[in-house]
Amino acid sequence: MDDITQFKSIGWDFDFVIYQNPRSALFWDYIERNEHSQRHYIITFRTDRLFDRLWYDLEKAGCRLLPFHFRGVEGIPEQIFKAFENGRPKGMELLYWKGKMCKNLGCEVLVDDAEIYVWPGCARHNIEWLHPDMVML
How do the domains of the chain map onto residue ranges?
Answer: 2-136
Question: Among the CATH numbers 3.30.70.330, 3.40.50.300, 3.40.50.720, 3.40.50.1000, which is that of 2-136?
Answer: 3.40.50.1000
pLDDT of residue 2: 84
Question: Could you list the mean pLDDT of each consecutive 10-residue stretch along the chain, which spans 137 residues?
Answer: 92 98 98 98 96 96 97 97 96 98 98 97 98 94
What does the angle CA 5 – CA 35 – CA 69 come to, to the nearest 5 degrees? 100
Sequence-distant (6+) residues with CB within 8 A of 73 are 41, 42, 44, 54, 67
pLDDT of residue 1: 61
The answer to whether the CB of 124 falls within 8 A of the CB of 105 is no
DSSP-assigned beta bridge partners for residue 41: 11, 72
Crossing angle between the packed helical segments 115-124 and 94-105, to the nearest 10 degrees: 50
pLDDT of residue 137: 87
DSSP-assigned beta bridge partners for residue 108: none
